[in-house]
Structure 1
Amino acid sequence: MEFEDFDALSSAPATQSAALPHSASPLVRLQYLVDNTPALIYSTVPSGDFKMTFVSNNAFNMLGYRPDQMLADPNFWFDHIHPDDAPGIVASLAQVFTEGQRVYEYRFRAADGRYLWMHDTLRLVRDDEGRPLEVIGALTDITDRKAMEEALQAKGVEQQQLIGKLREAHEQLLQSEKMASIGQLAAGIAHEINNPIGFVNSNMGSLQGYVGTLLSVIDAYDAAVAGLPALAGRMAPVRAEADLDFLRDDVTALVRESIDGLRRVKEIVQSLKDFSHVGETAWQLADLHQGLDSTLNIVSNELKYKVTILKEYGNLPRIECLASQLNQVFMNLLVNAGQAIVGRGAIRIRTGLREDWVWIEIRDNGAGIAPEHLTRIFEPFFTTKPVGSGTGLGLSLSYGIVSRHGGRIDVQSQVGKGTAFTVWLPVHPPRKEAVA
């Protein structure tokens, strides 16, 4: 009678079982507990296709299949595992026979076509002589847990991205503070140097006039004594000892070179002021060619001994921008181009206008950038330079500055032939008030 009760329960509809009467037999109660446990209990043959030999009635509640459907198809278990998960299970299933137990997490196709995540614990049962008898499994639906894990992982990725943005913003803030310090330094240099340079330049102008006057007097004296042979003879050794002809040419050249040197110092100071744009806090119309030229003056010492600068400037309108920030971009690109050149080389600077966009191309004939690095060169802290030779922030900061101006940076490179960076900027950048 107990076995009849057991079979009746096994063939009952696969729904939540009703409460058992207190008089139920232990075997019937066991079947009741199996059918109402949160896990689907099943058993398979321990070889071949692992055909199912028993499936608990709660399969219908969990997967939508009746146990007899699952038992009728010898390949039911394998055929319903997600195609991406099946190879890993098949490859390691034999370890059940050596380890005695395996745990898998995989996706299983339910009756409605959805794939549910399952936690499956397989355990090998042996007979008294140690031969494999059957494999017992317990399937638990972990779809909700997997969804939570994916959500947490996505949240973690989002947080990492946020941390990266905060780090980049912090570095950009430091760079802005550094540029502000450079601007203050330039203002101090201009103030301290301009005054002495002013009066020295004025004195050199006066000295140039005085030297001209003295030379004119000497010429007049030479003309006067030419008619007096005795006096001319007495003066001839004096002229020869003083090497007057050499002094005449050399003093003129010295004064001229000194005036040129003073002009160069004034240009350097003015370049520092133009580069830093001291006190600039608002968007304004600026001449990009002037910014390029002032930046070239700043980096000339690093480039002049190995690089020939070729300028091919087009007709550019003045654009609305923060000129000091764009000068920082130009400096980073020029310095990188110079460092990419081994021995002697050339940097070509081209500019042009296309519709409402201006473009500035800085091209070198240096070592070039490897293809696998091209997608990472704008990442903060990424650098291919030796340790201690770069922070990996120059191009990242440049990218951020150009993006804030509503523009973009294009790069083309070929290993062994060189690299070209092209900065595209709108003549009228969008939302400039917000960016400022």
Structure 2
Amino acid sequence: TTETSSQKPNNGADRQAKILATIKRLVLKKADALLRNSRITPLKEHPAILVVPICEANQTIETKIHGQLIVDCGKLACNGINHTILLETLSHFAAGISDLIGRGQMTDHLAGQAEMITELNRQSEEIQDELLQAHRLATVGRLAAGAAHEINNPLTVISGQLQILKTKALKNGDAETNIKRYNTMLGKVDKIARIVSDLLAYGRPQKARIQATSVKNIIHQSIEAIKHRQGFTHIRFTINIPDDLPKAMVDPQQLGQILINLLINAQLAMPDSGSIGIQTACNHNRIEISLSDTGCGIAQEHLPTIFDPFFTTRDPDSGTGLGLSIVHSLIEANHGSIEVRSTINKGTTFTIKLPTAKPSEPSPVSRRQ
């Protein structure tokens, strides 16, 4: 029912009820029209407009406004409603709406915080697992380095004595069978020596002595150091190095160790024959060294773990599984990165990226690899 303007409310409750009923009829109708039309009706059609902001309690209007209530005061005046009472009522109404909005936002905020805490807990557990694994590997590394050091001395003696016996056998004209036996023993000793070297490198890493280094020189020195080793005699090398390639900021000795490990890894993937290609480039102030082989390739599921310590897909007798892990550690120590691409039965490419030396930086101290 609609009361006439001549009727007077008996008390505050009646007046409040009347105002709320009118607000519901006018304000909600206006809001519905605004939502449908997506724009405000021209103000000239409403000679008296009352706007009440919906803002957070204890906040200034400029800091946090959720919206506003718009009331056609001209129509309210016809119903005998005092603007002061209307403003007070609308203010309470707006405060209630703001409280509901605030609670909804707080619920969303708490839900977001809960998700963030869950994610942080997950990351914390991963970090703890990684730290535990790193601690275990460090312990294994120290033990391995100690054992390798003890093995290295007698191994050197055995290798030297075998070389002497082989030389005497050749002078005495011993049977070819005996020479083959010496070669077999020397091959096994060489394999043990590589394992010992890997264990020492992993267990006792050396600090990088970074300096401006000629990548071209280190590549040629590394190939010269291994090309006469067993298994490399049937490998073809293709080298492509631009004459104007800048120097790299890297420890020359460690770069040589990186390249030799990658060359040995490539040879093991080509036990009978094949080719190794090395090419370099300078892109975005980084020296890129790509080493490709035509070997058996690496399965895609193994690529994420090939740099993990002790990981290998080869026969356990072929090594420790530390070669690529050492390569990765040395490259990181020299502020570089390494990428790998591989296709089964076609080959593998490792790409090393190292910082470029500035023209003013000193030349490297020459070191024998």
For the superposition of Structure 1 and Structure 2, which TM-score range results when normalised by the shorter chain? 0.3 to 0.5
* Structure with higher RCO (Cα < 8 A, 6+ apart): 2
Q: What is the TM-score normalised by the length of structure 2?
A: 0.46
Q: What is the TM-score normalised by the length of structure 1?
A: 0.41
Largest Rg, 1 or 2: 1
